[in-house]
Amino acid sequence: MSSERLRVLIFGATSAIAAEAARLYAARGARLYLVGRNADKLARLTGSLDGASVAGARSADLDETAAAVGLVAEGIAALGGVDVAIIAHGLLGDQLASERDYAAAAPVIHTNLLSVIALLIPIANHLEAQGRGAIGVCSTVAADRGRPRNFTYASAKAGLNVYLQGLRTRLGPSGVTVHTFKIGPVDTPMTVDHRKTLVFARAADVAAGMLRTIDRGRGEAYLPWFWRPIMAVVRALPEPALRRMPFLAGR
Protein backbone atom coordinates (compact mmCIF):
# COMPACT_ATOMS: atom_id res chain seq x y z
CA MET A 1 0.00 0.00 0.00
CA SER A 2 1.44 3.38 -0.98
CA SER A 3 1.73 5.79 1.93
CA GLU A 4 1.74 8.99 -0.17
CA ARG A 5 -0.63 11.30 1.69
CA LEU A 6 -2.11 8.39 3.54
CA ARG A 7 -4.52 9.33 6.29
CA VAL A 8 -3.48 7.38 9.37
CA LEU A 9 -5.48 7.07 12.59
CA ILE A 10 -3.54 5.72 15.58
CA PHE A 11 -5.06 4.69 18.92
CA GLY A 12 -2.68 4.18 21.81
CA ALA A 13 -0.33 6.60 20.06
CA THR A 14 1.70 7.31 23.19
CA SER A 15 2.87 3.71 23.53
CA ALA A 16 6.51 3.33 22.52
CA ILE A 17 5.77 1.19 19.47
CA ALA A 18 2.88 3.31 18.20
CA ALA A 19 4.89 6.50 18.62
CA GLU A 20 7.61 5.01 16.42
CA ALA A 21 4.99 3.99 13.85
CA ALA A 22 3.69 7.58 13.85
CA ARG A 23 7.20 8.90 13.19
CA LEU A 24 7.70 6.45 10.33
CA TYR A 25 4.40 7.36 8.70
CA ALA A 26 5.12 11.07 9.14
CA ALA A 27 8.49 10.56 7.44
CA ARG A 28 6.62 9.04 4.50
CA GLY A 29 4.45 12.11 4.18
CA ALA A 30 1.29 10.68 5.73
CA ARG A 31 -1.26 12.72 7.67
CA LEU A 32 -1.88 11.56 11.24
CA TYR A 33 -4.58 11.73 13.87
CA LEU A 34 -3.26 10.53 17.22
CA VAL A 35 -5.20 9.33 20.25
CA GLY A 36 -3.49 8.50 23.54
CA ARG A 37 -4.21 8.40 27.24
CA ASN A 38 -1.34 10.56 28.52
CA ALA A 39 -1.80 14.18 27.48
CA ASP A 40 1.80 15.16 28.24
CA LYS A 41 3.26 12.28 26.22
CA LEU A 42 0.86 13.04 23.39
CA ALA A 43 1.94 16.69 23.35
CA ARG A 44 5.60 15.66 23.24
CA LEU A 45 4.94 13.24 20.40
CA THR A 46 3.02 15.73 18.28
CA GLY A 47 5.66 18.34 19.01
CA SER A 48 8.37 16.02 17.71
CA LEU A 49 6.59 15.60 14.38
CA ASP A 50 6.41 17.94 11.43
CA GLY A 51 3.36 20.08 12.06
CA ALA A 52 2.09 19.41 8.55
CA SER A 53 1.93 15.71 9.43
CA VAL A 54 -0.50 16.06 12.33
CA ALA A 55 -4.14 16.63 11.48
CA GLY A 56 -5.09 16.43 15.14
CA ALA A 57 -4.53 14.73 18.47
CA ARG A 58 -6.81 13.77 21.33
CA SER A 59 -6.16 12.64 24.88
CA ALA A 60 -8.67 9.94 25.81
CA ASP A 61 -9.13 6.94 28.08
CA LEU A 62 -9.70 4.09 25.62
CA ASP A 63 -11.16 1.95 28.39
CA GLU A 64 -14.27 4.14 28.17
CA THR A 65 -15.84 2.02 25.46
CA ALA A 66 -18.98 4.15 25.22
CA ALA A 67 -16.84 6.92 23.73
CA ALA A 68 -15.25 4.71 21.05
CA VAL A 69 -17.66 5.51 18.21
CA GLY A 70 -17.25 9.23 18.80
CA LEU A 71 -13.47 9.01 18.96
CA VAL A 72 -13.32 7.14 15.66
CA ALA A 73 -15.71 9.59 14.00
CA GLU A 74 -13.70 12.55 15.31
CA GLY A 75 -10.46 11.17 13.92
CA ILE A 76 -11.96 10.39 10.53
CA ALA A 77 -13.46 13.87 10.31
CA ALA A 78 -10.16 15.54 11.20
CA LEU A 79 -8.31 13.53 8.56
CA GLY A 80 -11.04 13.89 5.95
CA GLY A 81 -11.26 10.09 5.80
CA VAL A 82 -8.96 7.25 6.82
CA ASP A 83 -6.73 4.84 4.93
CA VAL A 84 -4.92 3.09 7.80
CA ALA A 85 -6.09 2.61 11.39
CA ILE A 86 -3.72 1.23 14.01
CA ILE A 87 -4.75 0.12 17.50
CA ALA A 88 -1.80 -0.24 19.83
CA HIS A 89 -2.92 0.18 23.42
CA GLY A 90 -2.79 -2.61 25.99
CA LEU A 91 -2.41 -3.53 29.64
CA LEU A 92 -0.06 -6.24 30.87
CA GLY A 93 -1.43 -6.22 34.42
CA ASP A 94 -0.29 -8.20 37.44
CA GLN A 95 -0.58 -11.91 36.63
CA LEU A 96 -0.46 -13.18 40.22
CA ALA A 97 -3.13 -10.71 41.32
CA SER A 98 -5.30 -11.40 38.27
CA GLU A 99 -5.48 -15.14 38.88
CA ARG A 100 -6.58 -14.69 42.49
CA ASP A 101 -8.91 -11.71 42.24
CA TYR A 102 -11.44 -10.99 39.51
CA ALA A 103 -11.13 -7.28 40.25
CA ALA A 104 -7.53 -7.49 39.04
CA ALA A 105 -8.34 -9.71 36.05
CA ALA A 106 -11.26 -7.69 34.69
CA PRO A 107 -9.25 -4.58 33.66
CA VAL A 108 -6.75 -6.74 31.79
CA ILE A 109 -9.50 -8.44 29.81
CA HIS A 110 -11.36 -5.17 29.27
CA THR A 111 -8.38 -3.19 27.97
CA ASN A 112 -6.86 -5.89 25.78
CA LEU A 113 -10.07 -7.26 24.27
CA LEU A 114 -13.26 -5.29 24.85
CA SER A 115 -11.86 -1.79 24.43
CA VAL A 116 -10.17 -2.84 21.19
CA ILE A 117 -13.36 -4.36 19.81
CA ALA A 118 -15.21 -1.15 20.69
CA LEU A 119 -12.87 0.70 18.31
CA LEU A 120 -12.74 -2.02 15.67
CA ILE A 121 -16.48 -2.04 15.05
CA PRO A 122 -16.84 1.60 13.91
CA ILE A 123 -13.51 1.50 12.06
CA ALA A 124 -14.49 -1.68 10.21
CA ASN A 125 -17.92 -0.33 9.34
CA HIS A 126 -16.42 2.84 7.86
CA LEU A 127 -13.73 1.08 5.83
CA GLU A 128 -16.15 -1.56 4.57
CA ALA A 129 -18.48 1.14 3.28
CA GLN A 130 -15.49 2.94 1.77
CA GLY A 131 -14.33 -0.22 0.02
CA ARG A 132 -10.64 0.05 0.90
CA GLY A 133 -8.23 0.62 3.76
CA ALA A 134 -6.20 -1.25 6.35
CA ILE A 135 -6.55 -2.03 10.04
CA GLY A 136 -3.51 -3.03 12.11
CA VAL A 137 -3.75 -4.26 15.70
CA CYS A 138 -0.96 -4.97 18.18
CA SER A 139 -1.18 -8.40 19.77
CA THR A 140 1.44 -10.69 21.28
CA VAL A 141 3.25 -13.97 20.78
CA ALA A 142 2.11 -14.86 24.32
CA ALA A 143 -1.39 -15.41 22.95
CA ASP A 144 -0.23 -18.52 21.08
CA ARG A 145 -0.01 -20.61 24.25
CA GLY A 146 -1.32 -20.26 27.80
CA ARG A 147 1.59 -20.17 30.22
CA PRO A 148 1.64 -19.38 33.96
CA ARG A 149 3.62 -16.17 33.72
CA ASN A 150 1.02 -14.18 31.74
CA PHE A 151 -2.07 -16.22 30.94
CA THR A 152 -4.64 -13.56 31.85
CA TYR A 153 -3.09 -11.06 29.44
CA ALA A 154 -2.46 -13.78 26.87
CA SER A 155 -6.04 -15.07 26.99
CA ALA A 156 -7.42 -11.61 26.25
CA LYS A 157 -5.05 -11.23 23.30
CA ALA A 158 -5.90 -14.74 22.09
CA GLY A 159 -9.56 -13.76 22.01
CA LEU A 160 -8.58 -10.64 20.10
CA ASN A 161 -6.63 -12.71 17.57
CA VAL A 162 -9.68 -14.86 16.86
CA TYR A 163 -11.83 -11.74 16.49
CA LEU A 164 -9.32 -10.31 14.00
CA GLN A 165 -9.33 -13.57 12.02
CA GLY A 166 -13.07 -13.30 11.63
CA LEU A 167 -12.89 -9.60 10.81
CA ARG A 168 -10.25 -10.28 8.17
CA THR A 169 -12.54 -12.79 6.49
CA ARG A 170 -15.52 -10.45 6.71
CA LEU A 171 -13.74 -7.42 5.27
CA GLY A 172 -11.56 -9.12 2.66
CA PRO A 173 -14.18 -9.09 -0.12
CA SER A 174 -14.68 -5.34 0.35
CA GLY A 175 -10.99 -4.56 -0.22
CA VAL A 176 -10.12 -3.90 3.43
CA THR A 177 -7.11 -5.66 4.94
CA VAL A 178 -6.80 -6.59 8.63
CA HIS A 179 -3.37 -7.14 10.14
CA THR A 180 -2.49 -8.87 13.42
CA PHE A 181 0.92 -7.97 14.81
CA LYS A 182 2.10 -10.82 17.04
CA ILE A 183 4.82 -9.00 18.93
CA GLY A 184 7.47 -10.56 21.13
CA PRO A 185 9.00 -8.84 24.17
CA VAL A 186 9.98 -5.24 23.47
CA ASP A 187 12.14 -2.93 25.54
CA THR A 188 9.52 -0.31 26.44
CA PRO A 189 8.12 1.31 29.59
CA MET A 190 5.54 -1.50 29.68
CA THR A 191 8.32 -4.02 30.34
CA VAL A 192 10.54 -1.82 32.50
CA ASP A 193 10.41 -4.33 35.37
CA HIS A 194 11.25 -7.33 33.17
CA ARG A 195 14.74 -8.80 32.98
CA LYS A 196 15.97 -8.01 29.48
CA THR A 197 17.27 -10.88 27.35
CA LEU A 198 18.56 -11.20 23.80
CA VAL A 199 15.03 -11.73 22.45
CA PHE A 200 13.87 -8.26 23.50
CA ALA A 201 13.36 -6.09 20.42
CA ARG A 202 13.60 -2.35 19.89
CA ALA A 203 10.33 -0.44 19.51
CA ALA A 204 11.55 1.21 16.31
CA ASP A 205 12.28 -2.15 14.69
CA VAL A 206 8.87 -3.53 15.62
CA ALA A 207 7.15 -0.42 14.26
CA ALA A 208 9.03 -0.77 10.99
CA GLY A 209 7.84 -4.38 10.81
CA MET A 210 4.26 -3.27 11.34
CA LEU A 211 4.45 -0.89 8.39
CA ARG A 212 6.00 -3.58 6.19
CA THR A 213 3.22 -5.97 7.15
CA ILE A 214 0.56 -3.46 6.09
CA ASP A 215 2.44 -2.54 2.91
CA ARG A 216 2.67 -6.19 1.88
CA GLY A 217 -0.91 -7.03 2.81
CA ARG A 218 0.04 -9.83 5.18
CA GLY A 219 -2.72 -10.90 7.55
CA GLU A 220 -0.57 -11.97 10.51
CA ALA A 221 3.05 -11.22 11.26
CA TYR A 222 5.39 -12.25 14.04
CA LEU A 223 7.56 -9.30 15.06
CA PRO A 224 10.47 -9.81 15.07
CA TRP A 225 10.26 -12.58 12.46
CA PHE A 226 12.16 -15.19 14.52
CA TRP A 227 9.15 -15.65 16.81
CA ARG A 228 7.32 -17.53 14.05
CA PRO A 229 9.48 -20.70 14.25
CA ILE A 230 9.87 -20.38 18.01
CA MET A 231 6.12 -20.22 18.60
CA ALA A 232 5.49 -23.04 16.12
CA VAL A 233 7.53 -25.27 18.42
CA VAL A 234 5.89 -23.91 21.59
CA ARG A 235 2.39 -24.47 20.15
CA ALA A 236 3.26 -28.03 19.13
CA LEU A 237 4.53 -29.11 22.54
CA PRO A 238 2.19 -31.50 24.38
CA GLU A 239 1.05 -29.95 27.65
CA PRO A 240 2.82 -32.56 29.85
CA ALA A 241 6.09 -31.76 28.08
CA LEU A 242 5.61 -28.03 28.45
CA ARG A 243 5.01 -28.41 32.17
CA ARG A 244 8.43 -30.02 32.56
CA MET A 245 10.19 -27.03 30.99
CA PRO A 246 10.73 -24.32 33.62
CA PHE A 247 11.83 -21.72 31.07
CA LEU A 248 8.40 -22.05 29.42
CA ALA A 249 6.14 -23.09 32.29
CA GLY A 250 7.80 -21.11 35.06
CA ARG A 251 6.83 -17.73 36.42
| Catalytic annotation, pick one of 33, 153, 163, 222 | 153
Count CA atoms closer than 13 A to 138's CA, side-chain side.
Answer: 32
Q: Which residues fall within 8 angstroms of residue 241, CB to CB, at 6 or more apart?
A: none
Residue 75: closest CA among 40, 17, 130, 34: 34
Active site residue 163: no
Specify the length of the chain in residues: 251
Residues serving a catalytic function are 153
